[in-house]
Structure 1
Amino acid sequence: MNNNGAINKIRKIQDSIQFSGTFYAKSMEHILTGSYGFANRSEKIKNQTNTRYAIASGCKIFTSVAICQLVEKGKISFDTKVKNCLDIDFPHFDEGVTIHHLLTHTSGIPDYFDEDEMNDYEELWVSTPMYHIRMLHDFLPLFENRKMKADVGSSFHYNNAGYIVLGLIVEHVSGLAFSDYIEQFIFQKAGMADSGYFEMDELPERVALGYIEKPNGGWKTNVYSLPAKPASDGGAYVTAKDMITFWDALMNHQLLTEEMTRTLLRSRAEVIEDIFNGYGGYMETNQNGVVKYILMGYDPGVNFRAVHYPDIYLTIVVCSNESEGAYDMIKGIENAIL
């Protein structure tokens, strides 16, 4: 399909769902991009192609790449036990928990936000002021003294706390603050000039505020709904184009060697039929191998989806500054292009 035909289909999707955000699709032959809605509703500042969006758990892959880089340098291995690479006491954690278990969400450690027990991420900050959550260590009181959720090495169970622990490992092994490490060894190496771990009370230019719809149909920002600073389990700010740049850098082996890139992207645990999890996120498979790699992120006022089709080298990124819409938009773009 030509670009005009695809854009017309995408506009129809936007008309039906009133999407707020930016999409960017890149293949060997085509580039499609567009933006809708407002980065700031009260000031009527529109979202633009270069608007920066929070992407929630969509940035867990940055943590995974950082760990893989440290493995390449021989600082740690995937079989390294948490107790041997951190000087933090987790009194109830199984001593057999390894980096591999944390990466694959099979560690069994307690989560600070367990979606089986809690529906709304905002509930976390009723008793714990979110403006105090600015460093990885600030998350520890939320889970460090809780008992194991499941046996180590058990089946896949999505776990945010595991990625906080991975971030602490990056800090301990590298000697850098987690955000400094990611910005130096991933963002700068990949050429992601607009991405960063920005504090919500010190946001730079071109950042979209996140919006949550209220029961009465009005809107509020998510300033009281998220930690003050993004962490190793999610929340970094990117442009849609920067995430295209990230996939290009990853698949062209600018961030990891070819062998380690394969390790990052290899399927590890089946989540549901034909959907597997690896060190780098989800992937859809068929009898011939990986159809596409999938990144996703959901927070109050944040919605993110990205897919990369390795065989046809197509990458699609959708960033939204509302709680919903990215999934519908990316499925529509996939249908329009494919």
Structure 2
Amino acid sequence: MNYSKEKIKYYLNSILTIPSPTGYTNKIMDYIKEELHLLSVPYTTTNKGAVIVTIKGKDDNYQRTFSAHVDTLGAMVKGLKSNGALSIVPVGGFMMNSVEGENCTIETLDGKTYTGTIQTIKPSVHISGQDARELKRTPENMEVVLDEKVSSKDDVEALGINVGDFVCFDARTTFTEKEFIKSRHLDDKASVGILLYAIKYITENNIELPHTTNFFISSYEEVGHGAAAAIPENTKEFISVDMGAPGLDQNSSEYSVCICAKDSSGPYDLDLRKKLVDTCKENNIDYKIDIYPFYGSDASAALGAGWDIRAGLIGPGVFASHAYERTHMDAVIATLDLVIKYSTEE
């Protein structure tokens, strides 16, 4: 199919560079809604802030729902320190060493924005020597050094920064000449861009779908309850479009769509997985099947909440997940192709 890589990159770049740690997703949801307005595509919103696009198909009783989540890893201000730095608490599950030295933005409750850098409490080997190297990278040993002339708790309070303010990590999004995509938050913003483009492609080409198909953009996946509620009630198949995780002893690839057989929540529906694999085989879509022992998804949340659905999980292979991540346009296109081709099958 004739997909526009430039439009996909436009969506990806826009989505990746809008800060949206779990709990602070209003700005990116506003962007999603604006793009849907431009496409003249109606949508609904849930109380938790999720956006749902429904494209009617011939069968309205047996519906399919694809999900992706806009919320990302991040942090919150835990305390204002006597030296003018901020102590932080993680939002989502990441290794603290993966954000050491990262630039960040602090978003206050009244809308002010400040920049800073996440450092350890012993950031210099010239001062702390071996202690700096051996210091455990735990939240208690990390702090945000503000780009402000502050040296006390009172100085920070005067800026309007308070406990509970969000700390957003810089995405550092880069598209290389060889079509690699490097950025924080490819989990799961790569798949949000894929679903947004799929909506555009299906509606602009007037593709008739055999089943009513929903696109569920969730906002609390990283903390475990993104799609636990408000799934369209006639959903029979729920496919989380998240990511594959290439790495040591894994079968996933940065150049393929990855189909998850099992994660920490248990096996995904076997018949649905077979259908997804058959779609890949019939359409020459490069795919890998894999198992992720320390992984959960919106489909996991939906199943855990008691939804009577057949659940699947797919996504582009994303290297170094929950750190500074990388994928390739081949994986993005393969995932997009599977979403669209599967949507058109009985």
Q: Scaled by the length of structure 1, what TM-score is found?
A: 0.25
Q: Which has the higher contact order (CA 8 A, sep 6+)?
A: 1
Query: Over alpha carbons, which structure has the higher Rg?
Result: 2
- TM-score with structure 2 length normalisation? 0.24
